[in-house]
Chain A
Amino acid sequence: MTIRLRARARLAVVGLLCVCAGNVYVLRDIARLRHRGDEPPWDPHVYSARLARVRALLPSDSRIGYVNLGLQDDGARRQDLFATRYALVPICVAPGTDEALVLIAGDATPPLRGESTTVLSDPRYGWRLVRQIAAP
């Protein structure tokens, strides 16, 4: 009986080590490097390059609004907002059009509070920075 118990114990240790060793499947992550399409749509590098001109134009203590009407899905819109925020640090980016300066991504124009002037635009990346003239 003791021999059987020892054999079971050995089997249990081997089984545990094998289950743990199975975790080497994480090496699949290396393979992902080859598939460059795996970059997230909210890649900070892409957003940094896209918004470099806005960053260069605005003082670092600015606060701007941000709207992207080109995205329909709530999740995608949220990711787009957060990636924009990250790319524009230390400029504070609030969703919506309540700020005097509003960054608009996409072709559609959101309802603004009266008249506005375009401060900067980038047709290549499809964004416009507008200043709302009406007093808040």
Chain B
Amino acid sequence: MTTAALGLLLPAAILFWGFARVGMRRDGWAIALALGQAMVCGAGVTSCLWFAWLEIFGTRGVGYVAVEGLALLAIAGALRRLAVAEPRVGRAPTAPTGSTVIGGVSVTRWAIAVLVLLTLAWIASFLSNDALRPHGSWDAVSTWNLDARFLASGYERWAAFIHHADVCAYHGDYPLLLPSTVARLWALTGSTDPAVGALVALWFATAAVLLCSGGVGTLRGSTQGLLTAVALLGTGDFIEQSSSQYADIPLSAYMLAAAVALGLAEERRDSAARCLLVAGMTAGFAAWTKNEGMPFALAVVALCSARSMRRQERSDRVGPVLPLLAGLALPSLLLVYFKYVLAPPNDLVAGQTAAATLARLLSAGRYLTVTVGMSKALVGMAKGLLFALPLYFAVMGPTESTRGRAAARSTLIIYAIMLAVYCGVFLTTPRPLDWQLETSARRLLLQLWPGVLFAFFLRVAAPEERFGTRPPAISSAPAAVHTA
């Protein structure tokens, strides 16, 4: 188990060195954000490399470890180089915290207390579920860990399995980030200990919390960052799914990482090239995690391209998209190879004919069923928070700070596109609609939930703004960027 943990920690540590920047030591939220980014990127890079190595060379060995180490160092070096090549970034200004007291205790302390309570509950729930279902819940056994076990059993077995995936696998077309991450750790440890699957699940859930709260904390200050973490851990489905060993939490972490990186680029809180490289990488890893990640990656590229097209200079139009495409390259190449060479057709796509799809799209009843189904799923997924958050916004109001506005806007645009895509998939699914909604709608909405919380806490007023004297509006990006 220690070897497996090191297999995750070492790549993340190397990339953390790449994400670290000058002055970060004094900013806990920036550290949390960099840690979250390093965790998801470390797992993503190693998953891609491990699978590519398996497909090219078929065998594992010392050579792979050397290549993996060098590749991680090269990526970390590129991240550092991009960071110093552009203006350095100062610490996020935070709103005054003088009078944010409830019952003689500061809001920050209340939030920390609730966060500790929820973290303990999360750990207890995680350990109990792991004891009850060490191989994960249903989809983990039927798909994700099944793929991982074949990948870990050697190239010949894997090749035999994937070439007959149409009869020997369930959802054989699902991308392989999660299975290859687990298989890589199994290969390192030399066993197929199910605890590794649980470790990977915990890894991605922790990264999601760090990314969500770190992103908000970096842009809006400590209290907002803490409240974001509390809200995410206060979501029942997030806790439950984090121990299921499904790919939904990893996907949500990659989507969030891309949204945060894009947001930081828009806020000019970091080097734009570095942010876009990270956004491209994480969007690509999202596509390499689950099929839903593919429209997400396209939405990220479309948004960046649209933003670039509005610029006057031609060089300004192409330049920003290049780091994004560079980041996307490795996972996209692997995905194209997997989808066109190895994987069987997707059941939802294969089941479509022009006439049948058109008939489904023209059926008013299906729109109603999807609306009702998604609404029910939203209530089931968010529970009390679905009502508490709008009420909270109604009382607190939007922040007067301009910080985070651009990041929230770009996040909401991408996530709205994703919601539309999900609804479109439900409308046109060849499978029984009620069954499809019942089995997947909550998990799909959960994929978007951390991003929604990220945007929400960027835009809602901080307690500091409403409790005491009104703080001066925090100016937008240019003031935060200090030239080197």
Return the chain A residue nearest B469 by Cβ.
A2
Q: Which residue of A29, A44, A60, A94 has the most chain B CB atoms within 10 A of its CB atom? A: A29
Q: Is the beta-carbon distance between A82 and B156 smaller than 8 angstroms?
A: no
Given contacts A21-B117, A61-B157, contact A85 B234 (CB under 8 A): no
Instruction: Give the Cβ gap from A75 to chain B, nearest Cβ, in Å.
Output: 10
Which of A17, A40, A82 lies in contact with B133, CB distance below 8 A? A40
A residues 23-39 with Cβ under 8 Å of B? 23-27, 29-30, 32-33, 38-39
Docked complex Cα distance between A77 and B190 (Å): 33
For residue B90, CB closer than 8 A to chain A, the reply is no
Docked complex Cα distance between A15 and B117 (Å): 16
Q: Is the beta-carbon distance between A92 and B227 smaller than 8 angstroms?
A: no
Instruction: Give the Cβ gap from B418 to chain A, nearest Cβ, in Å.
Output: 25
Given contacts A20-B118, A86-B149, contact A92 B128 (CB under 8 A): no
Given contacts A11-B395, A19-B385, A24-B118, contact A89 B153 (CB under 8 A): yes
A37-67 vs B, CB cutoff 8 Å, 1 = contact: the mask equals 0111010100000000000000011010000
Docked complex Cα distance between A79 and B468 (Å): 58
Q: Which residue of B114, B149, B154, B468 has the most chain A CB atoms within 10 A of its CB atom? A: B114
B219-233 vs A, CB cutoff 8 Å, 1 = contact: the mask equals 000000001001101
For residue B1, CB closer than 8 A to chain A, the reply is no
Q: Is the beta-carbon distance between A82 and B466 smaller than 8 angstroms?
A: no
For residue B191, CB closer than 8 A to chain A, the reply is no
For residue A69, CB closer than 8 A to chain B, the reply is no
Instruction: Give the Cβ gap from B78 to chain A, nearest Cβ, in Å.
Output: 38
Q: Is the beta-carbon distance between A85 and B121 smaller than 8 angstroms?
A: no
A79-103 vs B, CB cutoff 8 Å, 1 = contact: the mask equals 1001101100110111100000000
Which of A5, A17, A61, A63 lies in contact with B111, CB distance below 8 A? A17
Instruction: Give the Cβ gap from B446 to chain A, nearest Cβ, in Å.
Output: 14
Docked complex Cα distance between A101 and B153 (Å): 21
Return the chain B residue nearest A96 by Cβ.
B167
For residue B145, CB closer than 8 A to chain A, the reply is yes
Q: Is the interface of B mostly helix, strand, loop or mixed?
A: helix
Which of B150, B157, B385, B463 lies in contact with A20, CB distance below 8 A? B385
Q: Which residue of A12, A32, A33, A93 has the most chain B CB atoms within 10 A of its CB atom? A: A12
Given contacts A9-B396, A60-B153, contact A19 B388 (CB under 8 A): yes
Which A residues are CB-close (under 8 A) to B131?
A: 33
Instruction: Give the Cβ gap from A56 to chain B, nearest Cβ, in Å.
Output: 16
Which B residues are CB-close (under 8 A) to A11?
A: 395
Which B residues are CB-close (under 8 A) to A92?
A: 160-161, 164, 168
Q: Is the beta-carbon distance between A21 and B111 smaller than 8 angstroms?
A: no
Which B residues are CB-close (under 8 A) to A83?
A: 141
Q: Is the beta-carbon distance between A26 and B132 smaller than 8 angstroms?
A: no
Which B residues are CB-close (under 8 A) to A38?
A: 132
For residue A14, CB closer than 8 A to chain B, the reply is yes
For residue A124, CB closer than 8 A to chain B, the reply is no
Which A residues are CB-close (under 8 A) to B141?
A: 42, 44, 82-83, 86
Interfacial residues, chain A to chain B (CB-CB below 8 A): 5-6, 8-17, 19-27, 29-30, 32-33, 38-40, 42, 44, 60-61, 63, 79, 82-83, 85-86, 89-90, 92-95
Of the A-B pairs whose beta carbons lie under 8 Å apart in the complex, a sample of 20, sorted by A's number, is A6-B467, A10-B102, A13-B110, A13-B227, A13-B463, A16-B231, A20-B385, A21-B117, A23-B118, A23-B239, A27-B121, A30-B125, A42-B141, A44-B141, A63-B160, A83-B141, A85-B142, A89-B149, A92-B161, A94-B164
Interfacial residues, chain B to chain A (CB-CB below 8 A): 102, 107, 110-111, 114, 117-118, 121-122, 124-125, 128-129, 131-133, 135, 138, 141-142, 145-146, 149-150, 153-154, 156-157, 160-161, 164, 167-168, 170, 227, 230-231, 233-236, 239-240, 384-385, 388-389, 391-392, 395-396, 463, 466-468
